[in-house]
Amino acid sequence: MKSHTSFFVLLLYMIIAISTLTNVSLGGDEDDDDDGDPQAPTAELVSLEFTSDHNLLRDGADLYTPGNRFPTIEWTAAGVNAPITHTASVAGHVEVTLTLGIENVAANTAYTLTGTSVEGSLNFSANGHLGSGAAVALTATASNAIGVAIRSIDQPIEWNITIGGNAYALGNTGNHIIYTTIGIPAVGGPSGCTLPNVARITHAQGMVSSAQAAAAAATPAHPCTAGLVWEMNMALTNGGSYYLGRNLLNNIPGNIAPDVNLWKFPLVATVSGATAYDQNSNTGADCISMSMYLRNVCMVIGVPGTFDARTYAALYKTQNQPQRPMNGHERNLGSPAIYPGTSFPVVTTGLQSNWRLALRDGSGGLNNFEAAMLCTVGGTV
């Protein structure tokens, strides 16, 4: 009987204990409505878009293939990281839109955003009030100008944000690759020959950088557009790049368009950033190829103005024009047809029938015609 009594007493104590524990886990008193601390705010990087770039750069693998446009949103947390082109300028600043994923933050909360980099033109500071929604787009302008140097930037940006007085480390974007240019690339060349891709831009950068240095060192200095183009031209003509026997617009293998084939010039001549592939034979190309190649370079790198190749002939003759003029005439390439000066003597009263009118080049050679690039800036040729 005693053992039965002890068992029932023990069972009663267990029921009371379980009941007490159940009341604590449910919150106890009916008026106590505490559900614990609210969730902490969070912020994370989603994407970055450069809004001051040209939105023109393409992913072609070589000078002949423009390729497709890189993504407009250049960096994403999902793995996208695309290069850009940006105009070099003493007053130009890189501008970005940074999209963040925000949680547990009330709309209109104050924020301060900072981006830091070892590259001076990629340091940012911005503040304001957050909008509503889970994805918030914040704009920022770099504190320092990108500068006038033609160069390539390859650096990350470290981002931090303070929201409502609480600091959050967002992490890095990049490395961001930025190719600086003289201006906005002119994409209107025939057959896509001036569409900018990485290979074309980096090659043009080498040409322009050397020309800028030469123009600045000239006496007197002429760093204007005309001086820049002049120095680029001189680098070609003085670099052993001329060879009359090679016209890059003719005898083109494959399906490469003639104007695109002009990008072969760095491979057959000694120019900045390239080595001739046939040093044991004749290097370079003719004056038409050189002029039109220089047109491509100027347009890709965004040199101000318009560019076209022209021929300047001492003597022209067509079937309907038996007497050719004594003065040189400018013509578009191929119009009218150019006839060799040795084929037709000058037919002009008072001159011997075997006289020829010719253009003398820098090496002393006599030519029926010369090709040159015509550069027009602000209405001035």
pLDDT in tens, 131-143: 877 889 999 999 9
Q: Is the pLDDT of residue 148 over 80?
A: yes
Q: Express each pLDDT in 226-273 by its tens digit.
A: 677 777 776 666 655 677 777 888 777 777 888 898 888 877 765 544
Least confident of 18-22, 102-106, 205-209, 361-365: 18-22
Residue 17 lies in a domain: no
Residues 206 and 95 occupy one common structural domain = no
Show the tokens assigned to 149. 């140097």
The answer to the question of residue 25 being in a domain is: no
Note whether residue 255 is domain-resident: yes
Q: Is 36 within a domain?
A: no
Kindly report the number of other CB atoms within 10 A of residue 167's CB atom.
Answer: 10
pLDDT at 357: 61
User: pLDDT at position 271, please?
Assistant: 52
Give the residue from 181, 214, 243 where a domain finishes: 181
- The pTM assigned to this predicted structure is 0.77
Q: Please report whether residue 1 resides in a domain.
A: no
In a domain, 5, yes or no: no
Domain assignment present for residue 27? The answer is: no
Tell whether 353 and 277 lie within a shared domain. Answer: yes
Residue 96 or 219, more confident: 96
Query: Between the ranges 59-63, 177-181, 300-304, where is the mean pLDDT highest?
Result: 177-181
pLDDT of residue 343: 40
Q: Answer yes or no: do 94 and 194 share one domain.
A: no
Structure tokens at 278: 């046939």
194 and 321 in a single domain? The answer is yes
Same domain, 85 and 215: no
pLDDT reported for residue 206: 86
Task: Select from 157, 181, 205 the last residue of a domain.
Answer: 181
pLDDT of residue 241: 67
How many other CB atoms sit within 10 Å of the CB of residue 116? Answer: 16
Predicted confidence at residue 308, as pLDDT, reads: 81
Task: Determine how many CB atoms are found less than 10 A away from the CB of residue 376.
Answer: 12
Contact, 341 vs 314, CB < 8 A? yes
- The CA-atom distances, in angstroms, between 77 and each of 36, 45, 115, 117 are 33, 7, 16, 18
Are 177 and 199 found together in one domain? no
The total of structural domains in the chain comes to 2
Q: Which of 86-95, 154-163, 331-340, 363-372 has the lowest mean pLDDT?
A: 331-340
Provide the token pair at 143: 């504190």
Residue that terminates a domain, selected from 151, 181, 211: 181
Tokens of 108: 């209109």
Which position has the higher pLDDT, 148 or 285? Answer: 148
For residue 84, the enclosing domain spans 42-181
Is the same domain home to 286 and 206? yes
**pLDDT of 37 higher than 70:** no
Return the structure tokens found at 38: 């609210």
Residues 88 and 212 occupy one common structural domain: no
Please report the pLDDT score of residue 42 as a whole number.
Answer: 86
Greater confidence (16 vs 302) lies with 302
For all residues of the chain together, what is the average pLDDT?
Answer: 76
Mean pLDDT along residues 45-57: 97
How do 306-313 and 329-332 pair as beta strands? antiparallel
| Residue 219: predicted pLDDT | 62
Q: pLDDT at position 341, please? A: 38
E-assigned strand segments in 284-368:
306-313, 329-332, 359-360, 366-367
| Cis bond upstream, residue 38 (ω within 30) | no
| Shared-domain flag, residues 197 and 83 | no
Predicted confidence at residue 305, as pLDDT, reads 85
Tokens of 369: 């015609």
Same domain, 215 and 308: yes
- The reply to whether 213 and 82 lie within a common domain is no
Task: Tell me, yes or no, whether 234 and 331 share the same domain.
Answer: yes
The burial class, CB within 10 Å (0-12 / 13-18 / 19+), for 231 is buried
The closest of 103, 98, 50, 40 to 72, measured between CA atoms, is 50
- What's the confidence (pLDDT) of residue 358? 67
Question: 3-class DSSP state for residue 332?
Answer: strand
Burial of 342 (0-12, 13-18, 19+ CB in 10 A): exposed
Nearest by Cα to 103 from 132, 139, 137, 126: 132
Instruction: Report the CATH number at residue 146.
Output: 2.70.50
Residue keyed to tokens 């590259």: 119
Q: With 70 as the cut, is the pLDDT of residue 353 above it?
A: no
Residue 14 domain flag: no
